Structure 1
């Protein structure tokens, strides 16, 4: 199965996960979204992104817009907790960007929050919906060490399951 791994990474978090997926599937081709080839010639595409405003970041969205109908596995990093409603909704929103594709799998993990974003949010007044409060500071602290080795191991295991499930369907 000819496999492509494409990722968009602002701070390096999603790139780490993409490299872990590639470790699990060394025959796959790995590209950043800026240098990725068209997905047409591939049987399976893993597309990784950082969550921005509840969906894939703009660079990933642009690439996803031209993926032809085929199996796609989504992976992402975000500053919120990976078991949160925000994480689930973000993956759902990203999947909705590629309605002609079959979603072969989904993976999301914590990623350290961009320091520049933290600074912008710190400037918001206390009554703003994204104002920095104790809960947000805790999430940032919790996310600061991610993706960690457990996240990367989980990504490798997930990638292998995606391949195994697709192989089982075709065989």
Structure 2
């Protein structure tokens, strides 16, 4: 049986919520760490690493990218939360970028993205952006943010669990 570490970075609590749900279904010897707790870990004792992140500028947040770059020859999977639909163009681009990063030095076994609440701080910043910038608070974006505000919900948590059950067994 493989020994698994789940490490998550969470800005609004979304990623932690999904990480906790996934952790419940991981078989065998397992540990869970926040990104802060994982800073000093060597990961030598772990066969499998599951990393969780919030999406920042179309990629995993910088602390998770740094962590992934430290990992070598591990079985790796990821999960992430974003303020857009996972099957949108943006979601697919994020999935591709993180998959490429995870595959660089490790064996990627899968990845899962979920809709998640956008941080209040980012929403306030968007209100100040001029309309020609990359993330102005347009009516469409405002509707997307409002929809995301109730996620991850129970369906998202169950989808994450079911996905990870399928790739870990």
- Into which bin does the TM-score normalised by the smaller protein fall? over 0.9
Query: Contact 1:40 / 1:67 at 8 angstroms: preserved in 2?
Result: no
State which of 81, 101, 108 in structure 2 corresponds to 1:103: 108
TM-score by length of 2: 0.92
Distance apart, 1:97 and its partner CA: 2.2
Tell me which residue corresponds to 1:167.
none
* CA displacement 1:50-102 (0-9 Å, x = unmatched): 01011110111111111111210010000011111211211221222230111
Structure 2 unmatched runs, 5+: none
Distance apart, 1:40 and its partner CA: 2.2
Tell me which residue corresponds to 1:33.
35
Q: How does 1:57-68 map to 2 (within 5 A)?
A: 57-68=61-72
Q: How does 1:65-104 map to 2 (within 5 A)?
A: 65-98=69-102, 99-104=104-109
Tell me which residue corresponds to 1:46.
50
Distance 1:157 1:100 in 2: 26
Query: Contact 2:99 / 2:111 at 8 angstroms: preserved in 1?
Result: no
In angstroms, what is the RMSD of aligned CA positions? 1.2
Distance 1:129 1:159 in 2: 33
Distance apart, 1:127 and its partner CA: 2.6
**Aligned partner of residue 145 in structure 2, secondary structure:** helix
Structure 1 unmatched runs, 5+: 165-171
**Aligned partner of residue 158 in structure 2, secondary structure:** helix
